[in-house]
A and B are shown apart, each in its own frame.
Chain A
């Protein structure tokens, strides 16, 4: 049981390049999330999904797109990377639809945009 995994662990992009970050979970969780974390700040929610085929915007969605074609995978795309998107990206997943919910986080992807 690997939990939540993220690919890649680290990436350097040039401004304007595109890339996709992959998040996978093997816990059969319904909900999945993408957060970003910048130095000295807490985590901010980018997008989330409440089930296969569904996505929704979080608090900082601009410049990102997501897809949830399979329940176990949640993809985060950057169509045209900007230096402001340099950050550490964390994926999380959770099971509960109702009641208290525990989110399980991946190890993070460090992205540097030059």
Chain B
């Protein structure tokens, strides 16, 4: 199965700054990458799919890019509610797998 490695494990930033989160796949997954945000005691929330398509209701501050094995989630102008855990998921190979997560902290 495809292993997704997210980096860094923890990222420190501040409100109004930007953040760049990375996800690397152990083999090509084309553009079949999704990004999720998870806050404590909540389920994951879909942010991005197909590497760069924002899910319904997701603000334009969130953007995704990449293809093949290297992917990036960029969050511009961080808001307090953005400080959370972020996971990437691949669905280009079976079974779908998730990365270990990046904690975005203040």
A binds B: no
